[in-house]
Amino acid sequence: MLLPLLTAVTLFLAPACAVFSDEAWNIDYHFALLGAPKEETSFFHRPNPSSKASLIYTLSEEHALGAVNPRDGSLVWRQILASGGDSHNTSFLRAGEGQDVVISGIGSEVAAWSAADGRLVWNVNADGPLEDVEILELSDGKETVGAKDAVALSGGEHPMVQRIDGASGAVKWQYSIDGSDAPYQLSASSTEVYAILLHKTILDYVKLRVVALDPVTGQKTDEYMLSSENELATADNVISVGANSASPIIAWTDAAHTTLKVNVVGTKSISSFSIERHDGNAIERVKLHAPYHINSLSHFLVHYETATSHWAEVYHIDLKNSKVEKAYSLPRVAGRGAFSTSTADANVYFTRVTRDELSTVSSASHGILGRWSLSSFGVASGVGEQVEPVHAVSEVSVKGDTVSAIRTTVLLSTGDWVLLRDGKGIWNRPEMLASTVAVTFAMPADVVALAQQLEVEAHGNPVAAYIHRVQRHVVDLQKLPSFLVSMPKKIVQGFLGTSADHAAGSDIFGFRQIIACATRSGRLVALDAGHPDRTLWNRDVADLKPGQSWRPSLSSTKDGVIQVSSAAGTGINYNATDGQQLAGDLPIIPDEPDLSTSRAVRYTMRGNSLEATYDWSPSWTFTPIHGERILNLVPRPVNDPVASIGKVLRDRRVLYKYLDSNIALLATAHDASSKANFYVLNTISGAIIYSNAHPNIDLTAPVPTIMSENWFAYSFTSEASDATTKGHQLVIGEVFESLIPDNRGAMGASSNYSTLQTATDPPFTLTQTYQIPEPISQLAVTRTRQGITSRQLLAVLPASNAIVGIPYGIVDPRRPVNRDPTKDEQAEGLMRYAPVLDFDPKWYLNHQREVVGIKNVVTAPALIESTSLVFAYGLDVFGTRLSPSFSFDILGRDFNKFQMLATVAALAVATFVVAPLVMRKQVDQRWRFL
C-alpha cells in the first residue's frame, strides 16, 4: 500500500522543484571576465595568512584587478582600475609574503586592496607615471610584523623613489633622482633599495645606472654605473631586474642574443655567458624566471625561445662571492613553452608547461620531481592549430622527492586561461572575449543546409525535385537508429519538462545561433547562443604583430557564413559552424544584386563631414559649421522589418508612420557653446528631415543614439540652466507622415516616389523627453523576425553595471502631457506623461549580476517572432533572450506535459467512475416523475 504512494510522491517531486525555478538564470548567461592576465602581475597568494587556501590574483591587460578561486575558476572580487588613458601601459601587482593586502600600481596611482574582498585600503598618487612598485619584505634586516611597506619608483618631470607605509599609505620618505636618466626599475635586497636608471650615452647606447638607497632613511648610500659597454642598444634587451630576493640580479643580452650578461645588484662584477644555439632559428626572446622571496635560494632560470622551439638554463648565485654559475639546462622542446617559479620554504621549483607535458624540477638539480602528460588543454581552437602555452603560474607542494600536488594556471595562445591540477584541466576562463571588438550573429550551417535543399526542390522541375526529395529522405533514414535510441529519453524528458532547450536536437526556435566575436588580438571566437559555456571554435584570422591593432567588422550576409572585413582587407568568409575558411573556389552567390555595379548612394564619414557618392560621383555632403564635430551617426538598420505601416488608434483610424529605409540620425557637438545638435537626415538626398539643438550639454558624458522603424532615441547629460535641470535625459522622437489620422499627407495617393524629386512637406516629428536617474552609455533595440512584436529599447547603465530593457510603450512620445489620458488613449496603452522615468527593477536584464564595462549590445531575431537574442560585450560578456510582447508563440518552461496528461487521465478516470452513478440517478429520477 505504501509503495505506490511513495512512487507517486517521488514522481511529483521533480515538477514541484521546477515550478519555482525562474527562467532568469537559464536563458541568460554571463561571463565575468578580467581580460588576458599578464605574466608579471599574476600569482597565487593566501588572502588570509593563517589559512592555507590561496587565490589567484591578476592585473590584466584590460586593467581589471581581480581574484579568482582556483577551485572552480569563479571570480571572487574584481576592481576596474582607471588606466588614466595614457600610452604608458605598465601596471604592477605585488603581494608581500604573509600579507592580507595586494598592492597595485597603474598610471600614477599606487593602491592597496584587501586580498580577501577587494576593498580599497589606501591609495597614493605619485607625481609622475609609475615605473615600478615593490614591497619591502625586510626592513632593518629583519622581517616586519605588521603591514609591509611598499616602494614606488615614478618617472615624469621629477623622478623619485617613495617609501609608502603599508598600513596607512603615508609616504615615509622620498628620494628625488637627479639627472636626466630615465627611471627603469626597483630592486630590493635585505639591506638596500636599488633604483635602476637608464643612462643614454653619446653613441645612443644605454648604460645602467644603479642608485642604492638606505631603506630606513631614504638616503643615498652608493651610486655606480654598470659598464655594459656598447651592447645595450635599447632597454628592450634588459631581460630582468630581479627583486626581493637574497641577491637581486640584472640581466641583459646584446641585440643578436649571443651573450647573456648577469650582474648581482650591489656588486660591479658582470658574469658573461655565451648563448648556445640549438637550432637554425634565431633566438626571438629571452626571459628570466627568479623566485620572489627573500628567503629562497638564489637560483634563477633563463628561458630561450625561437620560432619553433624553446629551452632553458638554470643558474646558481654564490652569495659569498656573488659569482653566477650555470647549474644545468633543460632540454630543447619543439613549440612554445612556459616556465613558472614557485617556492616552498627556501626551495625553489621550476614548472615547465609545453604543448603536451607538464613537469616540475627543483632548482638545485635537474631530476624531474613530477611529470604529467597533457593530451590537450580542453579548449576550442582552429582547425589544425596547435594550442601553445604563453605563460604560467604554479603552486607546488612537494613531499620528499616528489610533487604531491600542483596547480598551474596557463594562458594559452587561444586566449583561454586554464587551470591544470596535476596535469588535468579543471576549468577554463575565456578571457579572450574581454577584448571583443566586433560581434555578429549567424545561423548554423546545418539549419541552412535543409533550407538550401528545400530551395533546390522548390525551383527544380517536378521530376528532378521528386528524385531529390526521395534521396534526401533516404539519407535521413540513416539517422533513424540513433533517433530510435534517443526516443525513450526524449519522451521521458518531454513528460517531466526537463528537456527544454538543452536537448541537442535541432534548433526549431532559432535560439542556438552562432555568435562570432572578433577579438583585439586578431582571433575569431564562435559561441553557441544556446550553450554559451562551450566555445565552438576559436581561430586566428588576422596575423597581427604585437602592438598592432585592427578594426574588423563582422557580418553574416548569408546564413551559415561569417564575413570578416577590416580596413586592410576585404571580406573573407568563414563557415559559421566549424570556422573553416571558405576558399575562393566556393563561390558565395550574392542574394542581392551586386551593389558595386548598380546605381547606389553610399555615404561615409570623412574627416568631420559626411560625404555621399551616387554612381561613384560625389553626391550630397553634410559639413557641420565651424567648431562643431560629429559625435556619431546611426542609420536605420538594413534589416529592420516593420509589420504595420501605421498605428491603429482606438477609433479604428490610422496614424501613418514615416517609414523610409534611408534615414539616419546624426549627432554633432559644439564644444565652445556646449551645445549638441541632432539631425535626422535623408541619406539619399542629404536633406534634413528634423533637427533640434540642446544647449548646456555635458559633452564629456556619453551621447548614445539609436534609430529604428520610424523613431529615434538619444540620451545626454544636461547642465543646469533656467530651462532645464541638471541631470540625465532620454529623448524619443517618432516621425509620422501626418499627425492627422487617416491622412498620408501629400504622398497619399502615389505608390512610388523618389526622395530626389520629392515635392512633399517634411514629415511630422513628435518628441518627448524623460529625466532618467543615471547616464546611459549605449543604446540598442530588440529585433524580431517580422517586426510584429513590440520593441524594447536596451540601455547600458555604466554607473550601476547593468543593462535595462525599456518597453517602447513606456517612452512613447504620444503620452498625454498634463492631463489624464482619454478612454481611447487608455485603451491604446498610453499613460499620463511623467517627467521622471524610473527604471523598473523588472527591466534589468542582468538581474543581480554586475555586467561591467559593456561597450556595445547587438541583437538578432530568433526564428520565432516573439523572441530577440541579445548579446552584450566589452569587458564582460552577457547574453539573453528577450520577448518584449511576452512569449506568445512558445510554451514556457513551466508548462508541464506530465501534469497536463495526468489531468486528462484523471478526468477520464473520473468520467468512467461517475458515469454509471449518473446513469442510475437519471433512471431513478425518471421513475419518480412518471
Residue from 92, 315, 770, 808 binding another protein (CB under 8 A)? 770
Q: Which of 87, 373, 754, 848 lies at the binding interface for another protein (CB under 8 A)?
A: 754
| Segment contacting another protein by CB under 8 A, of 128-136, 239-247, 620-628, 900-908 | 620-628
When binding is defined by CB under 8 A, the residue of 309, 342, 513, 619 that contacts another protein is: 619
Residues 176, 623, 786, 911: which binds another protein (CB under 8 A)?
623
Residue 622 binding another protein, by CB under 8 A: yes
Among the listed residues 504, 756, 799, 827, the single contact to another protein using CB under 8 A: 756
Three-class secondary structure of residue 350 per DSSP: strand
At its nearest, how many Å lie between another protein and the CB of residue 819? 11
Q: Does 729 bind another protein (CB under 8 A)?
A: yes
Sole window of 571-579, 764-772, 908-916, 919-927 interacting with another protein (rule: CB under 8 A): 764-772
Task: Report the residue number, 17 or 723, with the smaller CB distance to another protein.
Answer: 723
**Minimum distance from CB of 759 to another protein (Å)?**
4
Least distance between another protein and beta carbon 615 (Å) = 8
Is residue 750 near another protein by the rule CB under 8 A? no
Piece of 10-18, 607-615, 634-642, 888-896 that binds another protein (CB under 8 A): 607-615
Which among 274, 252, 254 is positioned nearest to 263, based on CA atoms? 252
Distances (CA, A) of 41 to 92, 106, 241: 6, 11, 15
Q: Return d(Cα 503, Cα 510) in angstroms, integer.
A: 13
Listed ranges 224-232, 480-488, 606-614, 650-658: which one lies at the site for another protein (CB under 8 A): 606-614
Q: Say if CB 391 and CB 354 are below 8 A apart.
A: no
Report how many residues bind another protein under the rule CB under 8 A: 50
Least Cβ distance, residue 240 to another protein (angstroms): 54
Residue from 259, 281, 609, 750 touching another protein (CB under 8 A): that is: 609
Instruction: Give yes or no for residue 731 binding another protein (CB under 8 A).
Output: yes
Cβ nearer to another protein, comparing 269 with 673: 673
CB neighbour list of residue 417: distance below 8 Å, 6 or more residues apart:
36, 37, 409, 410, 411, 428, 429, 431
Q: Closest distance between another protein and the C-beta of residue 747, in Å?
A: 12
Q: Is residue 757 involved in binding another protein (CB under 8 A)?
A: yes
Q: Minimum distance between the CB of residue 679 and another protein, rounded to whole angstroms?
A: 8
Separation between Cα atoms, residue 227 and residue 250, nearest integer Å: 12
Judged by CB under 8 A, which stretch of 326-334, 608-616, 702-710, 801-809 contacts another protein?
Answer: 608-616
- What beta strand segments (E) does 388-493 contain? 389-399, 402-412, 417-421, 424-429, 436-442
DSSP 171-218: EEEEEEPPSSPEEEEEEE-SS-EEEEEEEE-TTS-EEEEEEEE-TTT-
Nearest partner of 783 among 854, 863, 869, 705, judged by Cα:
869
Residue in the structure block whose three cell numbers are 530551395: 455
Q: Which of 493, 581, 767, 800 binds another protein (CB under 8 A)?
A: 767
C-beta of residue 361 within 8 angstroms of C-beta of residue 369: yes
Task: Look up cell 626599475; give the residue.
Answer: 185
Q: Give, to the nearest 10 degrees, the angle between helix 462-477 and helix 445-459.
A: 150
Assess contact for 741 and 828: CB atoms under 8 A: no
- Quote the cell numbers at residue 917: 452513478
- Are the beta carbons of 69 and 46 closer than 8 angstroms? no
> Any contact of residue 606 with another protein (CB under 8 A)?
no
**Residue 706 corresponds to which cell in the numbers above?**
539609436
621 contacts another protein (rule: CB under 8 A):
yes
632 contacts another protein (rule: CB under 8 A): no
Between the CA atoms of 860, 861, 862 and 864, what dihedral angle is there, to the nearest 10 degrees?
A: 170
Q: Is 839 in the site for another protein (CB under 8 A)?
A: no
Closest to another protein by CB, 674 vs 856, is 674
Task: Pick one of 1, 145, 759, 930: the residue that binds another protein (CB under 8 A).
Answer: 759
Distance of alpha carbon 393 from alpha carbon 410, whole angstroms: 7
Pick the stretch among 35-43, 232-240, 253-261, 678-686 that binds another protein (CB under 8 A).
678-686
Of 318, 455, 476, 615, the residue at the interface with another protein (CB under 8 A) is 615
Question: Smallest distance, Å, CB 698 to another protein?
Answer: 14
Binds another protein (CB under 8 A): choice among 355, 469, 675, 847: 675
Tell the smallest beta-carbon distance from residue 805 to another protein (Å). Answer: 22
Contact map string, positions 419 to 438, toward another protein, x by CB under 8 A: --------------------
In Å, how far are 391, 603, 645, 681, 684 from 663, measured between CA atoms? Answer: 50, 12, 16, 6, 8
Binding another protein by CB under 8 A: which of 82, 723, 749, 917? 723
Nearer to another protein, 347 or 724 (CB): 724
Residues 6+ apart with CB under 8 A from 415: 36, 430, 431, 432, 433, 519, 521, 523, 525, 538
> Smallest distance from the beta carbon of 207 to another protein, in angstroms?
52
Torsion angle of C-alpha atoms 351, 354, 357, 361, degrees rounded to 10: -20
Task: Write down the least CB distance from residue 657 to another protein, Å.
Answer: 19
Among 724, 790, 856, 885, binds another protein (CB under 8 A): 724
C-alpha 193/C-alpha 215 separation (Å) is 6
Length of the chain: 930
Helix (H/G/I), strand (E/B), else coil: 462? helix
What Cα–Cα distance (Å) separates residue 89 from each residue in 36, 82, 160? 14, 11, 19
Pick one of 203, 568, 625, 913: the residue that binds another protein (CB under 8 A).
Answer: 625
Minimum distance from residue 609 beta carbon to another protein (Å): 7
The residue (of 307 and 693) whose beta carbon lies closer to another protein is 693
Q: Determine contact, residues 265/278, Cβ cutoff 8 Å.
A: no
Q: Hey, what's the cell of 862?
A: 530568433
- Between 279 and 838, name the residue whose CB sits nearer to another protein: 838
Residues in 679-708 that interact with another protein by CB under 8 A:
684-688, 690-695
Using the rule CB under 8 A, is 614 a contact of another protein? yes
Given 632, 758, 790, 887, the residue binding another protein (CB under 8 A): 758
Least distance CB 678 / another protein (angstroms): 7
For residue 243, count CB atoms less than 10 angstroms from its CB and return exposed for 0-12, middle for 13-18, buried for 19 or more: buried
Give the integer Cα–Cα distance in Å for 467 and 380. 39
Minimum distance between the CB of residue 810 and another protein, rounded to whole angstroms?
A: 15
Helix (H) / strand (E) element for 487: namely helix 480-496
Shortest separation between residue 622's beta carbon and another protein, angstroms: 6
715 touches another protein by CB under 8 A: no
Q: Kindly state whether residue 271 participates in binding another protein, applying the rule CB under 8 A.
A: no
Cβ-based nearer residue to another protein, 177 or 706: 706
Residue 720 interacts with another protein (CB under 8 A): yes or no: no
Q: Which long-range contacts (CB under 8 A, 24 or more apart) does 840-843 make?
A: 843/804, 843/805, 843/806, 843/807
111, 390, 612, 804: residue in contact with another protein (rule CB under 8 A): 612
3-state secondary structure 706-730: EEECCEEEEEEEECCCCCCCCEEEE
Contact residues for 511 (Cβ-Cβ < 8 A; gap 6+): 501, 529, 530, 862, 867, 869, 881
DSSP reduced 3-state for 408: strand
Closest CB to another protein among residues 132, 734: 734
Give the binding site for another protein (CB under 8 A). Answer: 609, 612, 614-615, 617-626, 675-678, 684-688, 690-695, 723-725, 729, 731, 754, 756-760, 767-771, 817-818, 833, 835-836
